[in-house]
Structure 1
Amino acid sequence: MLKWMAPHRQATQRTDDEMHQLLAQAVDELVVKHAAHVVVRTSVLEKSGDAILIADNIDTPHSIAKQNKREIAHVHADGGRGDYSLHLCLSPSDCKEVIEKKWGERMTLAGSLVPNNYLLIYTPRTKEEVEIVKMILEGAIVFMTGARELVQ
């Protein structure tokens, strides 16, 4: 059995440092916005790199959060050498929209080692795409923490 997640990365359409910085800023903003519900720790799925997890004081709202070991998302930054795609868990309806709009795809192990809701979100290439990824990530935070609505 694997002790970490099998690699699943984006092979083409990689972006530049400006987009990486904008994505990192967007992630940081969401962590601050949802600080009562999330923490940043080493990924429990990849065993390296930072991940957003459900805070210890928050009960896991569903079996998907339990199966994913409370991990909401992680960016494939790999110390600046990564592709800056993300893995995250979304609600079934959000998964459908992301896949239909070609913003991401199911992780290769989705439905077996990880929940069927576990997606790879493609790295943003433009400022507009950074905002889309931020919206998707916020949806993942709300879904995985069981929050009733977005924090304003």
Structure 2
Amino acid sequence: MSSYINQFTNYLRSLPIHLPRTQQERLTLVLGTTAAVVTSLILPPLYRDYSLFISYGPGGVPSNVFGWMIVRGLFQPLRGEMFSTDIYLQRADALEGHGVGSEGFLTLAPEQARSVVDRPEVGPHAVPQRQLSQLPTDEIKEKLDARFRAFGRRNDHLIRFDRSRQEAHADAFFLANRLPPTDLAKATEGELAHLHSGGEYSAHFALSPADCKKVIEAGWGQRHGFAGTSALSLLSFGTKADMPAEYLLIYAPRNDAEIDTFIQLLEASIKYTTGREDVR
């Protein structure tokens, strides 16, 4: 064994290793080594983040490297906190007497709650906002899609189907043309709710302040990252209204009972966003 070690040592000594002697050579070596180390540390997590962004599919921003750079460079610093409910206490008091009761439209039984400790994982990007865990089976997705569309047809006196302007990948509910626009409909260009039917089957829609508090505290959703912030008006240089604080991500249901609850949330949302009680 010692002979092999001696042979290997002699071989290393015979290699024409060039050691930097000038200050310029030493500086070049330091900069090159630093660049190699930084690159090896930064590129892998950046690539994983980019791959996760692409996995969301279409969602309001280009699903490519340019969309990813825009989201990370411009959108991400504007994202707000998504779980506190204090804002809804103030909002509920302010809206009382304007067709929105301080108790809201939603009643959830204790058994309808999801875990607030074990919430689904949601992607780290400001947009698209997507659920990553606790996903439904294909069978549950088909059932939810059918129930969502049936709800829209049943309530065509209040809402209409159109391509989502916020997501650009799925049909959404818009305020019916015959109805006067509510403040929330104006802020969202008439779009009231959309289902991420091209992906994980979570949804975005708004509820009354009191109902938002119930939904977040029952583990059924969280705010959109831009909800209640000035992100949209800043990014559009004042051409768009800010997203209301009541705009929520609703988690995807995982079984038949949760589909029933999801439709119950949707019903409360349409009552709030249309200003009408005659939801069927």
Q: Would you say same fold, with TM above 0.5?
A: yes
TM-superposed CA distance for 1:151, in Å, is 3.3
1:136 is matched with 265
Identity, % of aligned pairs? 37
2:184 is matched with 64
Q: Which amino acid aligns with 1:74?
A: H
Q: Which has the larger radius of gyration?
A: 2
Note the alpha carbon deviations across 1:23-61, whole angstroms, 9 max, x for none: 112112211221111111011212221111101111112
- The reply to whether residue 101 of structure 1 matches residue 213 of structure 2 is no
Q: Which amino acid aligns with 1:151?
A: V
TM-superposed CA distance for 1:15, in Å, is 1.2
8 Å CA contact 1:43–1:49 kept in 2: the answer is yes
Determine helix, strand or coil for the equivalent of 2:130. coil
- The reply to whether residue 119 of structure 1 matches residue 248 of structure 2 is yes
Q: Which amino acid aligns with 1:73?
A: A
Q: Which amino acid aligns with 1:90?
A: L
Determine helix, strand or coil for the equivalent of 1:31. helix
1:75 is matched with 195
* Number of aligned positions between the proteins: 145
1:146 is matched with 275
Which of 206, 209, 217 is the matching residue for 1:92? Answer: 209
Instruction: Compare the two structures and name the one with the higher helix fraction.
Output: 2
Give the alignment's TM-score, normalised by structure 2: 0.50
Q: Give the unaligned 5+ runs of structure 1.
A: none
Q: Give the unaligned 5+ runs of structure 2.
A: 1-59, 62-126, 233-242
Instruction: Compare the two structures and name the one with the higher strand fraction.
Output: 1
Determine helix, strand or coil for the equivalent of 1:73. strand
8 Å CA contact 1:84–1:123 kept in 2: the answer is yes
Instruction: Pick 1 or 2: higher relative contact order, CA cutoff 8 A, min separation 6.
Output: 1
How far apart, CA to CA, are the structure 2 residues paired with 1:140 and 1:151? 10
C-alpha root-mean-square deviation of aligned residues, in Å?
1.5
Hey, which bits of structure 1, 4+ residues long, moved more than 4 A? none
How far apart, CA to CA, are the structure 2 residues paired with 1:151 and 1:14? 28
